[in-house]
Structure 1
Amino acid sequence: MSETHEGGCLCGHIRFTAKGRPGNPHSCSCDVCQRHSGGLTLCWVEFPSEAVSWVGEGGAPSLYRSSDYSSRAFCPRCGSTLGAVDDAPVIALVLGSFDDKEAESLKPLSHSFEPPETAWWRVATKV
């Protein structure tokens, strides 16, 4: 049976359904992720573009071109961070936007980038 994950923004204007097992569950502390989220670390999972449907009344999120290969996705109404839409057929969604954050397949398995200017910040993992 295929997994189905649902989620959306703070105000509910943008909602998504993502089908299948997510790939590359990881956390990231790069400068772009920090500025996109306002947090020191952001957690992500990736899905093929065709596996993600924007099902809320707001349709697809607004996009901001953040690099030469990706655009950051956010709600135009409440500003919530939703993820990134890559030029490759991948949509990366942030874990905080999922309704069920406890799904085992969403658990980050790796961490990208050390925080650039916050030496006191260390990602702690529970084993």
Structure 2
Amino acid sequence: MKGKQYSGGCLCGHIRFTAHGVAANPHSCSCDNCQRHSGAPSLCWVEFPKDVVEWTGTGGMPALYRSSDYSSRSFCPRCGSTLGAVDDAPMVALVTGSFDDSDLSELRPVSHSYVDACPAWWEITKAV
């Protein structure tokens, strides 16, 4: 496959992925599904076409939970790590915290969905 290669996986290493090409639509989301899926007030995502994402770990493809009419949330069946979402459309959305190198500039969110669903305390105004 051509293009840049991104790799990552779950906490225990059972589920691994490699994605090729351009990371699309880097964004954060604070909808109820994202909050419950991650256990955090917001979740950061990046999308790839399904045909450029390979599930390379010994666990194969992650476990799926049907979370909406158009998408299933993905997670490791062994350690429970959140990995992303596999949409009915030809897209896979991967959470940026699961990437081996999550500090890449192309993974930085450029928009935030459902920002009004964040808890009032979410905005951090002082660095620690």
With the shorter chain as reference, the TM-score category is over 0.9
Q: Which residue of 2 aligns with 1:80?
A: 81
Shifted more, 87-96 versus 102-111: the winner is 102-111
On the 8 A contact 2:9/2:16 being kept in 1, the answer is yes
Instruction: Kindly provide the amino acid, as one letter, of the partner of residue 105 in structure 1.
Output: E
Alignment CA distance shift 1:78-1:115 (3 Å): farther
Partners of 1:76 and 1:53 lie apart in 2 by 17
Q: Which residue of 1 aligns with 2:123?
A: 122
Deviation string, structure 1 residues 70-107 (Cα, Å, up to 9, x no partner)? 00000000000000000000000000000001111111
Q: Which residue of 2 aligns with 1:11?
A: 12
Shifted more, 95-104 versus 74-83: the winner is 95-104
Partners of 1:84 and 1:26 lie apart in 2 by 14
Shifted more, 82-91 versus 112-121: the winner is 112-121
Shift of 1:115: 4.6
- 1:40 paired with 2:58, answer no
Partners of 2:64 and 2:21 lie apart in 1 by 24
TM-score, scaled to structure 2: 0.92
On the 8 A contact 1:4/1:20 being kept in 2, the answer is yes
On the 8 A contact 1:115/1:121 being kept in 2, the answer is no
Q: Which residue of 2 aligns with 1:58?
A: 59
Shift of 1:116: 2.5
TM-score, scaled to structure 1: 0.93
Runs (4+) off by over 6 Å: none
Structure 1: 5+ residue stretches without partners: none
Q: Secondary structure at the match of 2:64?
A: strand
Instruction: Kindly provide the amino acid, as one letter, of the partner of residue 49 in structure 1.
Output: K
Q: Secondary structure at the match of 2:58?
A: coil
Partners of 2:40 and 2:18 lie apart in 1 by 24
- 1:30 paired with 2:55, answer no
Shift of 1:121: 1.4
On the 8 A contact 2:72/2:86 being kept in 1, the answer is yes
Partners of 2:116 and 2:64 lie apart in 1 by 25
Q: Secondary structure at the match of 2:37?
A: helix
